[in-house]
Amino acid sequence: MSEAPSKTNPLLKVSNLSVHFKQGRTLFGPRPALRAVDDVSFDLAEGETLSIVGESGSGKSTLARGVLRLLKPTKGQVWLEGQELGGLSGEQLRKARRHMQLIFQDPIASLSPRRTVEQIISEPLQTHYPQLSGAERREKVADIMRAVGLLPDMRNRYPHEFSGGQAQRIGIARALVLEPRLLVADEPVSALDVSIQAQVLNLLADIKQERKVSMLFISHDLSVVHHISDRLLVLYLGQVMEIGHAKSIYERPQHPYTKVLLSAVPRMQVVGREKRRRIHLNDDLPSPSAKRAGCPFASRCPVATSQCKAEMPKLTDFEGRQVACHFPGIALEGEKAA
C-alpha cells in the first residue's frame, strides 16, 4: 500500500496530551477529575490515515477535540506543521484552523437548519478568504460539491431536504473547501445506513488519495476502520493500549484488549479455516474518574496479574509496534500462543 511515512517531519505531532474534566467539589474536597484522555502521544505523517478505535467512553471524541483545541488540554502539546497550537493566541489559532477540519458523527445536526447548502459550504471561505468575490466563491463551492458527489444545482436547498448520506457529503464538502492538511473524522459513518456507509467511506478513501490529506479517523467499528487506515491506535479509558500499522495489528494483535476488541468484529466464517473464538468480557467499562494505579484494563483483563493492578505498563516497542502491556503477545484462553 502506501510507503512508510517519513518519521522525520510529521504533519501532526501529539505529545503527552491529557484532557481531564473537573467534576466539582464535595463536602470533603474536590472530586477526582474525569480523565477522558490521559497522556496520549502519536505522530501523523503527511497523507497518512491513523484510526483511533475503542469502545464508547474510551475518550476518542475528546481526543479529537483536544487535538483540534476545541477543548483545552489539561497537559501536553499538539504540533501542526511544526507549530505548537497551545502557544498560539486566540486570533492566531482561529487563523490556523483553516489547516485542520472536522467531520461530524451526526450529519444533519452538524448543518445549520436555516442556511442553504451554498451558505454552509462557503462559510469557511468567507471566514478565511474574505477577499474572494461572490462569483469565485460560487465556483469553488460548485467544484467541491461535484468532488463529493453532489450536484451543484442543489446549492440553494436546505439541510432538512437531504438524506443522511447526502448531508454527510455536505459536511465533507464544508471540511474540504479550505483544502486542509488535516482532516479529523469523528465517527463519520456510524449514524448512516450500512449501504450509505460504504459510499461515504469510498468517498473518504478517494479524497485521501487525490488530495494527500492526513486523516484522523475515529470509529468504534473495526470493520469500518479496516479499509481506510494505514495505522491504528487502540484507546482504552483515555490511554493508548497499542499503536502500529493497521495490517499487522489486524493480523497479530499483541495487547489483550486489542485481541478482545478484534474478536468482537463479526466476520464471515471461511470454510477450512480454524474457527474463531469470541472472547467475552463480563464487566462494564470502569469509571474513567476512578483512581487507579496500574493498567486501566487490569480490572477486565483475563490474564491480569497483581503486577498489572499495581503498575502502569509503559508503551514499549514490540514486534514493530508499540504496546502498553506487561506481557505483550500473551495468549488468551482458547487462543493459540502467538
Partner 1 sequence: MSVLRPESTESALNGAFDAVKSRSLTRLAFERFARNKVAVVSTFILLVLVIMAIFAPVAEMLTGYAMEFQDRNFYSAKPPNWDAKHFLGTDQNGRDILVRVIFGLRISMIVALVAATVALIVGVLYGAISGLVGGWVDVLMMRFLDLLISYPLTLIAVIALAYFGRNIYIVFAIIGLVEWQIMARVVRGQVLSLRNSDFIEAARATGVPTASIVLRHIIPNVIGIAVVYLTLTIPEVILVESFLGFLGLGVQEPNTSLGVLISEGATRVEHKPWLVFSPGVFLVLLLMSLNFIGDGLRDAFDPKDR
> The sheet that has 34-44: what strands, in order across it?
34-44, 12-21, 75-80, 83-84
- Shortest Å, Cβ 2 to partner 1: 9
Given the complex with partner 1, which of 176 and 304 has the nearer CB atom?
Answer: 176
Given the complex with partner 1, which of 189 and 260 has the nearer CB atom?
Answer: 189
Instruction: Say how far apart CA 219 and CA 54 lie, in whole Å.
Output: 7
217 lines the binding site for partner 1 (CB under 8 A): no
188 lines the binding site for partner 1 (CB under 8 A): no
The grid coordinates listed for 103 are 467531520
Tell me the backbone φ, ψ of residue 17, rounded to 5 degrees: -75, 130
Instruction: Say how far apart CA 311 and CA 151 lie, in whole Å.
Output: 56
The backbone region for 329, taken as left when phi is positive above 0, alpha when psi lies in -120 to 50, beta otherwise, is left
Identified binder of partner 1 from the candidate list 58, 122, 166, 258, rule CB under 8 A: 166
The grid coordinates listed for 250 are 489486524
- Shortest Å, Cβ 161 to partner 1: 6
- Shortest Å, Cβ 286 to partner 1: 27
Identified binder of partner 1 from the candidate list 158, 250, 318, 327, rule CB under 8 A: 158
Q: Which stretch binds partner 1 (CB under 8 A): 99-107, 254-262, 299-307, 316-324?
A: 99-107
Given the complex with partner 1, which of 110 and 239 has the nearer CB atom?
Answer: 110
What does the DSSP 8-state code read for residue 82? T
247 lines the binding site for partner 1 (CB under 8 A): no
Beta strands in the chain (DSSP E): 12-21, 25-26, 29-30, 34-44, 49-53, 75-80, 83-84, 100-103, 182-186, 214-219, 231-236, 239-245, 316-318, 321-323
Identified binder of partner 1 from the candidate list 110, 122, 214, 219, rule CB under 8 A: 110
The grid coordinates listed for 209 are 488519495
Given the complex with partner 1, which of 265 and 332 has the nearer CB atom?
Answer: 265
What is 169-190 written as a DSSP string? HHHHHHHHTT--SEEEEESTTT
Given the complex with partner 1, which of 164 and 286 has the nearer CB atom?
Answer: 164
Q: Which residues bind partner 1 (CB under 8 A)?
A: 1, 68, 70, 93-98, 100-102, 104, 106, 109-116, 123-124, 127-128, 149-151, 153-154, 156-158, 160-161, 163, 166, 171, 174, 178, 195, 198-199, 201-202, 205, 209, 227-228
